[in-house]
Chain A
Amino acid sequence: MLNNREEDIDMNQLTVSELLELKKFTFHLIITKINGRLVKKEERDSAIISDGDEVIVLHMISGG
């Protein structure tokens, strides 16, 4: 699940960084979570996403 939607990716496992590249999340300010747990920027290369995990990728945009 990516951002509350089913997502089929033809890989057993991938890291958060690989997912961001695959799904073309290029925005510089983003927040990532796996199964409700925050994944900080420095952890994205090592944080593994497995089949069935709930992943959240959020863009931060200025304005308020």
Chain B
Amino acid sequence: MEDCYIMHFGEIKEKIKDKVIGIAGCGGLGSNCAIALVRVGIIRLIVADFDCIEESNLNRQYYFINQVGRKKVYALKDNLMAVNPNVSVDAFDIRLTPDLILKIYKDCDVIVEAFDDAEDKKMIIETILDKMPDKLVVSGIGLAGWGDNNSIHTSQYGNLYICGDNIKEVNEDNPPLAPRVGIVANMQANQVLEILLKERT
């Protein structure tokens, strides 16, 4: 790492405090990534999801048993505020469409793609590449099952970063589980942090 990137935690927090991060999807990737970002000092987030918390989500998503049945966006906002009460979260309880993506994430410095469904991932990545090509996107692709740590990596394609193994799809034999989902979610958070800290402003 170059010398100019060596920073104390105070300097890191100072550099990222005005950044706005968009989180698209508040499941395993989105909830864990948002928590990590808030812990390191992100205070402005725009989160969107249409789902409610189910008990089966608790094997990987950053929610608690007493939150089952609640809308994910509002429960996530509470959990983020439990880490840092000064955090400012715009929570959208909506199913994202191309038009809504352009609208709600237009002021974000980086957008975290954290959808579950491959069709939705394609929709948001294509929307951003096509309509907001200058926007930085950090996507999570391939995180099912367990083990195989070393297959998880990050690739950069212009403004698009992809974290994951790029291979393992969720199915009956490959459930999404806390360790691998958490690794990819935190890798996304780490990539967001790297982008923000290396920005020359």
From the candidates B30, B130, B141, name the one contacting A38 in the complex (CB within 8 A).
Answer: B130
Q: 1/0 per position for B116-130, CB-CB distance to A under 8 A?
A: 111101100110011
In the complex, are the beta carbons of A61 and B118 less than 8 A apart? yes
**What is the minimal beta-carbon distance from B177 to any residue of chain A, in angstroms?**
10
Q: B166-178 vs A: 1/0 string, CB under 8 Å?
A: 1111100000100
- A62/B133 in contact, CB under 8 A: no
**Of A3, A4, A40, A64, which contacts B140 at CB under 8 A?**
A64
B5 contacts chain A at the CB level, 8 A cutoff? no
- Contacts A31-B129, A59-B166: A64 and B157 contacting too (C-beta < 8 A)? no
Question: How many residues in B have their beta carbons less than 8 Å from beta carbons of A?
Answer: 36
What are 26 A-B pairs at a CB distance below 8 A?
A3-B155, A4-B155, A4-B156, A4-B157, A29-B121, A31-B122, A31-B125, A31-B126, A33-B129, A36-B158, A38-B129, A38-B130, A56-B157, A60-B125, A61-B121, A62-B116, A62-B169, A63-B116, A63-B140, A63-B143, A63-B144, A63-B176, A64-B27, A64-B30, A64-B116, A64-B140
11 additional contacts (CB under 8 A) given A63-B169, A64-B30: A4-B155, A31-B125, A31-B129, A38-B126, A56-B158, A59-B141, A62-B121, A62-B170, A64-B114, A64-B115, A64-B117
